[in-house]
Amino acid sequence: MILRYFHGSKRYFLCAIAASVVTTALNAVTPQIFRFGIDQVLGGDAYGYLRENLWVLSLAIVGVAALSGLSMFVSRTCTARAGENFAKNMRDSLFSHVQRLPMGWHDQNQTGDIIQRCTSDVEVIRNFVVTQLLEVFRTVFLVGISFAVMVSMNGRLALVVLLFVPVVAGYSAVFYRLIAKRFTKADEAEGELSTVVQENATGVRVVRAFGREQFEMERFREKNEAFARMWIRLGTLSGLYWGGGDLITGLQIVAVVVLGAAEAVHGNMSVGEFVAFASYNTVLVWPVRGLGRILSDMSKAGVSFERVDYIIQGEEEQYHGGEQADPQNMDIVFSHVSFAYERGKQVLDDISFSIPQGKVFGILGGTGSGKSTIVQLLTRLYELDGEDGAGSITIGGVDIRKLPLEWLRKNIGMVLQEPFLYSRTIRENIAASAPGATLEEIRQAAQVACIDEAILDFADGYDTLVGERGVTLSGGQRQRVNIARMLLQKAPVLVFDDALSAVDSKTDSRIRRALKERMEGASVILISHRITTLMGADQILVLNRGRVEELGTHAQLLQNHGIYRQIYEIQMGGDDRKEVCHGSI
C-alpha cells in the first residue's frame, strides 16, 4: 500500500533519507572534536597553536552544527513534500474508489466513519510513513555508527550500553500491544462521534421541526464522553510508558557515567574518550528511547492501515460491458425478478412486466412494497446476481448485466425519492447532468419542470446559492430542480421515483403535461402514491408486499374493484374513513 501511493514522492523521500544520514554523521563528528580537544590539545604538547587559539575548535564545532542544520532543513523540506504528495495520492485514490463502490457497500457503512477513514486515518498513515519511518532509518544509522565508535573506544562499556537495548525494546513491545488495542477503540469511538455530527448537520430541519435539540445534544454528549474516556485511558497508558522509559533511560546514563568514570580513573580510557563516550551515549539514548514512540505510532498506523484497507478491498461496480442496446429499441422487460437486500427478507417476489419504448408506465404501492427497488435494479444500483436475486431485466433484448454501467445510467434519467442538491448555484445544480449546457438549455429544462418562474423570483436568479443539501429551497422546489436536472440529461428513459410528492396537484398536472409535449418518444416510469399522477399512464402496476397485485390501464383497474379502486375512491373524494387492509397499502 505504501509503494502504491508513493509515485511522485520517492525522490523526495530518498532525498530526506540521504539528508538525515548526513545530519546523523555530522552529529557523530562533534564528540570526536571534544575528544580531540581534551586529549590532544589540552592534555598534550603537539598542538600548541590550537591550545593558544581554542576559537578554531569552537569554529569547527559551529561549522559542523551549521552543516548539520542545513542538512536537517533539506531533510524536513523533502519530508514535507513527500508526505503531502503521499497523502494526496491516497486521498485521491480513496475518494475515486468510494465513488465506484456499490450501494450495498454504502448501506452497510456509516457516512461519518467513511469520512474519518478517508481523513483522520490517512493523516495517521502519512505521519508514520514519512516521519516515523524516516526516523527508523535515522535511528538505525545512528545506533550503528555510534555503537561502532563506542566499541572502538571501550568495548566493555559499550557492552553495558548494549545490554540496555533489549530491555528498552522488550518494554516498548509490551506497551505497543496495549496501546494498539486502546487506539483501535478510540478510533472507532471517533468514527461514531463523526457520524453523530454528520447526521445532525444534514438532518437539521428534522431536528428543529420535532424539537429534538435536547435529545441530539444528549446523544452527542454521550458519544463525546465515551470518546474522551478512550483518549484519557490512552493518555494514561502513554504516561506510564514514558515515565517507565525515562527511568530506564536514566539508569543507562547513570551506569555509563559511573562505570566510565571508573574506567578513566583506572587508566582504561582517557578523559577525552570518557567525555566523548558519554556524549555518544546521550545521543544514542533518545533515539533508542524514541523507538517506543515509533512503536506506539506504528500501532496507531497499523489500525489506520486496516481501516483504510477495508475501503480499498471493497469490490467496485463493474462499469464495463460487452454490449449496448439499440437506441431505436429501448423496450424494458422484467422477467420473474426476485430480490432481497438481506437474506430471507424478500422485497420483490417473481415480478414480471414490460414497458414498450415511448410509453408511460405507472407504479403504485405502499411503503416497502418494492417500488423504488424496481428502478434501483433497473439502473444496477443493486445487482440481481447472487443468492438474493433471481430473474432478468433486459433493455432492447439485452440483459442489463451485459451493458456498460456508464451507458446504462446515461440513458436512464432518474429523479430520486429524496431529492439532493449540491451547495452550489441553482444553475450548477441543474447542469450537473450536462456540464456543458447553455443557460438557455437550462432554462428550457426548468420551464418543463415548472421551476423557471420561481428561480427568477430569487434576487440572483439562476446564480442563487442553495444551502447544504438544498435547505434554502422548499421540498417542492428541490424536487423540481432535480426534475430539470434529469430532463437536461435528455435520456430515452425517464424515471420519476415519487418525484412529484412535494408539489401540489395543479403543478403536478402542469409538469406532466409539459413532459408529454416536450419528451415525446421517451419511455417514462412514474412511481407515485397519487392516483391523479398515474391515471394517464399507458399501464399501471400495483405492488403489494413485493408481488404484482394488479396490472392494467386506469379504466381496467377501476373495473377490477381491487386495491387500485379502493385507493382511487379514497383520494378522489370517497369515504375518507375507509381503511385499506391489503398488506402495506
The string of pLDDT tens digits covering residues 249-303 is 888 888 888 888 888 888 888 888 888 888 888 777 777 666 666 766 777 788 8
pLDDT at residue 332, rounded to an integer? 94
Strands 360-365 and 539-544: parallel
Extract the residue ranges of the chain whose pLDDT is less than 70: 39-52, 173, 180, 202, 205, 210, 288-293, 295-296, 319-322, 344, 386-388, 467-472, 501-502, 519, 574-585
pLDDT at residue 540, rounded to an integer? 94
CB 491 within 8 A of CB 410: yes
The string of pLDDT tens digits covering residues 171-184 is 776 777 777 677 77
pLDDT at residue 46, rounded to an integer? 63
pLDDT at residue 581, rounded to an integer? 31
pLDDT at residue 580, rounded to an integer? 35
Torsion angle (degrees, nearest 10) of CA 292, 293, 298, 303 = 110
pLDDT at residue 576, rounded to an integer? 40
- Please state, as a whole number, how many other Cβ atoms lie within 10 Å of the Cβ of residue 426: 27
CATH of domain 3-312: 1.20.1560.10
Strand order in the sheet with 398-399: 345-355, 332-342, 389-395, 398-399
Strands 389-395 and 398-399: antiparallel
CB 149 within 8 A of CB 158: no
Q: Where are the domains of the chain?
A: 3-312, 418-490
Q: What is the pTM of this model?
A: 0.69
Sign for the CA dihedral angle at 288, 289, 292, 293 comes to negative
pLDDT at residue 584, rounded to an integer? 30
Q: All 3 cell numbers of residue 135?
A: 526516523
Q: What is the largest CA-CA distance in the chain?
A: 123
The string of pLDDT tens digits covering residues 202-242 is 677 677 776 778 888 888 888 888 888 888 888 888 788 77
- Given CATH 3.40.50.300, say whether it is the number of domain 418-490: yes
**H or E element at residue 65:** helix 55-99
pLDDT at residue 575, rounded to an integer? 42
